[in-house]
Amino acid sequence: MKTVRAFASLAFALTVLAAFAFVLAQARPGTPTPTTATGGAPASTSVAMTAAAPAAVPGLPSLDDGSSPEPEQPGCLGHAVLIDRVPTTIELAATASSTLVVGTVDAEGPGRWSTADGKPPSESVVYPVYHLVRVHVDDTVGTAPVAVDGLTVVAVVGGSIGCDAYEVEGMPMVFKPGARYAFFLDAGRSEIARLAGVPEARFAWPIEDATVATPNEGKVDLQVLMDNTAAVMGAKR
């Protein structure tokens, strides 16, 4: 009688352990759970998820050229570009730019290699990656950018290609839709601007509650920034 009970207890324990192992296998990350579709045919165990490309705006460059650039090398890498330069004041930013655009981010595109063939650079370059950002223009100082229905496209250095991230000091890594910035644009003198076919945003300073976060002068009233920029750009003409 004791032997029968012992075997029964052992069988029960094995059943519990098997059920527990099954639950763990189902909960393990990355382990697909097989399911059966109508008619008994096995259903797909995984679904490929891809980010939708930003909708195109007729008359403006596409944010995603569909090239799907390849990473520089296998594996995920993080790259940081640190530039030793004098502090960027409002005067210096205005002097180096042709236009100030005060705008709200509409959408941004994926990273692109800063090469003519769209492939990783064969030699070291300062800004290997850039991407395009579409902006709703709220106000401008200087030469007005090309805009369609109040929207314009600018190029910014940095971005991501695959799981590799390229971050440039002083430039936001991500431009979230709805966020406001003061974009100081180079109309075409830079290599990035010529390659992209749109002005390059040399500087992008975040705006919150009509206040601009500048890198050297702290928080500045937006109107003061625009007035000072207009004075500098007017003096250049």
Q: Please state which of the four CATH numbers 2.40.50, 1.10.287, 1.10.3470, 2.60.40 is assigned to the domain occupying 78-236.
A: 2.40.50
State the average pLDDT over residues 175-201.
Answer: 90
Q: Which has the closest alpha carbon to 188: 142, 150, 155?
A: 155
CA pseudo-torsion sign 132, 228, 137, 175: positive
Most confident of 4-13, 49-58, 132-141: 132-141
DSSP H or E run through 209: none
Give the whole-angstrom CA distance, residue 92 versus residue 76: 36
3-class SS at 175? Answer: coil
pLDDT tops 80 at residue 178:
yes
Confidence of residue 87 (pLDDT cuts 50, 70, 90): confident
Structural tokens at position 31: 């382990």
pLDDT tops 50 at residue 24:
no
Q: Which residues face 75 on adjacent strands?
A: none
pLDDT of residue 58: 81
138 and 102 Cβ atoms separated by less than 8 Å:
yes
Give the whole-angstrom CA distance, residue 115 versus residue 112: 8
Question: 121 exposed, middle or buried (CB, 10 Å; 0-12, 13-18, 19+)?
Answer: middle
User: What are the tens digits of pLDDT across the range 119-129?
Assistant: 887 777 777 88
